[in-house]
Structure 1
């Protein structure tokens, strides 16, 4: 290299300066190499990594069309073929609904043409959503970093939970005396019938759809769907506790073996946070608590970690969809302005508290308690909780309130969080009874014929319809009667009985004695579906769920009789040669089947019927609460657990 000689500087001097520069540059390059090595390889550098990587390695958010989202991602999703068959009616402004407790309890159909509150937002390219989209995209590296910092220890190897201690803290044996077998011969015979229905449904699932998510009984094949992000075996996970409490030992062992050897959690698909939580997390937790099988504990803690990145939003309110492999999360394409759904982010508390109990990692409880903080900060219109909330701003997006799809299980989890905490969670108690007061003031209505129902609220305007999903509320109000103001105890029991009676009427007024997806109280109709698109029944559990709770609370024999009527109707209209199927129109005895045996039929409908015809000590309500998929989770008696742990430590020392 040739250098121009500078005035007043000797050649030898220039050479000296060049060597100094070379040494300095060598030192500087070594320092930079060292820094970047620390940046990328030291375990505590994840935040620095995000600074450099989050803008360059983001994974684009890909969301299907609005119609695809409605058809494929709503809970208790109906048969896609049936949905396609309803296109013509939907185009006329009729509602197509699915179970959304949120996403099924479940999800409720997004109504077209009924006003801005029901109309899905357009594609993800909308200008109003574009700014938010930037915050939704997340890098694979960032997601992995979040997981690595979520716990200071291996959650799978946690030894902070003692199963023996847990069992000592139960007031009664989980399966009761003689597995809850009733002394009355007729009731015992009816319970045996429900057990036979479960075995029939399970055997056909195993024969034709083993390892798939659900059985298509008419075509005798399996259905996978895409609500679970590549996870398989939803019917297996949902059936574990039902098989166990029914004493179907061989079937339970087959299910356990599949979970141990074939349940693959390293999927890379787009999952509903809500659905994975209530079915897979709830099902595995319940199986562990009932049996003590450590394999279930390991599986559920591994899965629980995969859900944490969904909470990485400005408010901590999780988004509804998560890629279980990359950790990328986003909101449903049909949800207004990229909002999160009340019944989805409000239906995590029970399971996440138990994830903390099993792992010793407080992050799960912290995540759901933060949701409470956000909700307590924002103003509630007339004390009500609308169904859509922005995970970015923390503000309500629409003023649509429903005890059915989109809202339902949020309220259910408030009272059940209080009960599961051994009645110590005062925040949950306060939120529940305040919400119930607002619901009574704004939603509870009485029809001209004397039927009590819960209407939907749309910014102050009532829609006089009640969804099948909202029929869980009879049981919910019933189990909350003892813990409210003493002077309102009988009032709550009466309200619970009236709502349950209304839901029974929706069954009794149909030709099949099964209830429609939604029924109305206007234009002269009472407790009947007035739209063709609301006439279907997809093996839903909410009505028999309320029968079970009301039986345990009152022991009024009518609830068992109503439950038996439902069993007879299921047998007559939904049982086919190779399983059980939903039907398209409850008002005609010329039944058209939808070719889907929903996993919640095994988890909820048959379990609640079995419990209805069992003695009360089978999964006693003193010890257990049921998640929104009917998976029993134990009451957390912290003082008992802590005292036993302290005693154990004293003896050990």
Structure 2
């Protein structure tokens, strides 16, 4: 299953990096000479009229999806656009409403936001008979409410009449009250021997099986949301729960198993002793957002989370040294491989892992390190290639580039494009490639990345759009995307449409606030793994 490490195909990208790169300042774009030496500006120009047209098209896609949801699926978790009914795959508390609130706020869709706020105020988070995912509930529900509070009590308070004494003030404050109720309902999940939480549970059964395991994404992607809740409320218990669990990832109890490369971890951790059960992993599913949050916690509060940053640097350096790989047929491309231990590398990737380019760019900007910026932009190029090479214009869920395993029918495709389809070849309305385009644009200010994002939007609009919303398509190797499935994920609202909107819209409140990167010396916001913007700590 796993190919042995072939040193001739592992690219030590240090040779591309300029000595003394850390001298370049954090917000020196758009003319940072070290980046332009490797990525000459495209010179593409976009006028205000074109940007407005694209922004309006993305807002129309949100409203098309929202109207279909309200007509056929409200108040369930998501629209099933082909059968035109609702589905409850995310606890049944109205995931699309809560996950989509921040995007509607940024788009200044006032009537939609008021509907969403009124709904959220009435949700009873103490009652649920479904199996609940702590990870998904944290990033979609808790993150969605806390982000909306930051936005609506801050830069959008005036726009939405949410200042004290105004009509929406109490509804906005109810976001915090509801966040407390949700966290209080779920916090028993941390009642294991170590404080490492159970990944799944029922509210009707508060017992925890300490012989269970959790994944590092499930442990390490709670800390930003639960810490933000503590900082907003002044109650430290929520941050303490998440940070205690995180310690087992910052200091590995059995590194001979759990840390095959410095900073790069295995996947499953036991609740009873905090030790790793395996050595396989990477930046894809089950692990991805643990690494993402290490640098984002540092962005959130540089004083409290210096150790998180140091851990991210370890992982980043090991990724460049051991996992960076170029296909034999396209040495101009760079991807990040997976591993099963220190000497077994698997040359395969995923759409999920394509956030990594954006994460390296965030790290490069925050740490003033051009090496990470250059590596991040090369990864963005690689993931763009998975989109631009397919007939549909969309990237597959999984792909690979091991020339010894190329299927017979894909040899010509691999030679030309540097990867082949491997495993699932559907597109699930995922945001990661567009997310990385957003970061690439914010770092370079090169409109090339806006063009790539627009190409992706047009491909989604032509293949995934239905009469009532948007849905997964089964086969990106077909021009029409293949068969349409029957699910409009809540992260379509929260992530895909938000990143598309942010990359094109520079007007109004969002433009002046600069959600994400800013022009200047201070970062105002950090974006969660579900694309919910949080106000950083002063």
Q: Same fold (TM over 0.5)?
A: yes
Matched, 1:280 2:176: no
- 1:279 Cα shift? 0.4
Alpha-carbon distance change, 434 to 204 in structure 1, aligned in 2, over 3 angstroms: same
* Structure 2 residue corresponding to 1:338, chosen from 194, 212, 236: 212
* Structure 2 residue corresponding to 1:188, chosen from 47, 52, 67: 52
Say whether the 8 Å CA contact 2:364–2:373 is kept in structure 1.
yes
- 1:458 Cα shift? 0.8
More deviation, 215-224/415-424: 415-424
1:398-450, CA deviations, whole angstroms, 9 ceiling, x for partnerless residues? 11111010110001100000000145521111111011112222211122212
- 1:377 Cα shift? 4.3
Alpha-carbon separation, structure 2, partners of 1:408 and 1:330:
25
- 1:263 Cα shift? 5.0
Matched, 1:602 2:493: yes
- 1:393 Cα shift? 2.1
* Structure 2 residue corresponding to 1:370, chosen from 229, 240, 244: 244
How many residues align? The count is 446
Alpha-carbon separation, structure 2, partners of 1:538 and 1:527:
22
* Structure 2 residue corresponding to 1:415, chosen from 258, 279, 295: 295
- 1:183 Cα shift? 6.7
- 1:322 Cα shift? 2.0
Q: CA RMSD in A?
A: 1.8
* Structure 1 residue corresponding to 2:311, chosen from 431, 454, 457: 431
SS in 1 for 2:537: coil
Say whether the 8 Å CA contact 2:219–2:246 is kept in structure 1.
no
Alpha-carbon distance change, 614 to 364 in structure 1, aligned in 2, over 3 angstroms: same
Partner of 1:326: 205
Alpha-carbon separation, structure 1, partners of 2:317 and 2:214:
24
Matched, 1:475 2:349: no
Partner of 1:80: none
Alpha-carbon distance change, 330 to 279 in structure 1, aligned in 2, over 3 angstroms: farther
Matched, 1:634 2:523: no
Alpha-carbon separation, structure 1, partners of 2:208 and 2:470:
35
Partner of 1:289: 150
Say whether the 8 Å CA contact 2:125–2:185 is kept in structure 1.
no
Alpha-carbon separation, structure 2, partners of 1:511 and 1:430:
42
Alpha-carbon separation, structure 2, partners of 1:344 and 1:518:
21
Alpha-carbon separation, structure 1, partners of 2:295 and 2:123:
36
Partner of 2:283: 403
- 1:266 Cα shift? 2.1
List, as ranges, runs of 4+ consecutive aligned residues in structure 1 with deviation greater than 6 Å: none
- 1:571 Cα shift? 1.1
Partner of 1:453: 335
- 1:369 Cα shift? 2.2
Aligned pairs (5 A) from 1:634-653:
634-637=535-538
* Structure 2 residue corresponding to 1:238, chosen from 81, 96, 99: 99
Partner of 1:76: none
Alpha-carbon separation, structure 1, partners of 2:231 and 2:275:
31
1:68-99, CA deviations, whole angstroms, 9 ceiling, x for partnerless residues? xxxxxxxxxxxxxxxxxxxxxxxxxxxxxxxx
| TM-score in terms of structure 2 length | 0.80
Partner of 1:306: 185
Matched, 1:552 2:442: yes
Alpha-carbon distance change, 264 to 425 in structure 1, aligned in 2, over 3 angstroms: closer
If asked which structure has higher relative contact order (CA below 8 Å, sep 6+), I would say 2
1:325-351, CA deviations, whole angstroms, 9 ceiling, x for partnerless residues? 4323458xxxxx832101111000110
Matched, 1:614 2:505: yes
SS in 2 for 1:583: coil
Alpha-carbon distance change, 258 to 372 in structure 1, aligned in 2, over 3 angstroms: closer
- 1:603 Cα shift? 0.5
Task: Identify unmatched segments of 5+ residues in structure 1.
Answer: 1-113, 116-181, 332-336, 638-653
Matched, 1:315 2:194: yes
1:133-182, CA deviations, whole angstroms, 9 ceiling, x for partnerless residues? xxxxxxxxxxxxxxxxxxxxxxxxxxxxxxxxxxxxxxxxxxxxxxxxx9
* Structure 2 residue corresponding to 1:350, chosen from 202, 224, 227: 224
Alpha-carbon separation, structure 2, partners of 1:320 and 1:372:
14
- 1:626 Cα shift? 1.1
Greater Rg over alpha carbons, structure: 1
Alpha-carbon distance change, 261 to 556 in structure 1, aligned in 2, over 3 angstroms: same
Alpha-carbon separation, structure 2, partners of 1:265 and 1:548:
37
1:242-299, CA deviations, whole angstroms, 9 ceiling, x for partnerless residues? 1111011111111111112345542233200000000010011111111131111100
Say whether the 8 Å CA contact 1:509–1:528 is kept in structure 2.
no
Partner of 1:541: 431
- 1:527 Cα shift? 5.2
Alpha-carbon separation, structure 2, partners of 1:261 and 1:239:
17
| TM-score in terms of structure 1 length | 0.66
More deviation, 198-207/253-262: 253-262
Say whether the 8 Å CA contact 1:516–1:529 is kept in structure 2.
no
Alpha-carbon distance change, 388 to 353 in structure 1, aligned in 2, over 3 angstroms: same
Partner of 1:498: 378
SS in 1 for 2:122: helix
Alpha-carbon distance change, 270 to 491 in structure 1, aligned in 2, over 3 angstroms: same
SS in 2 for 1:625: strand
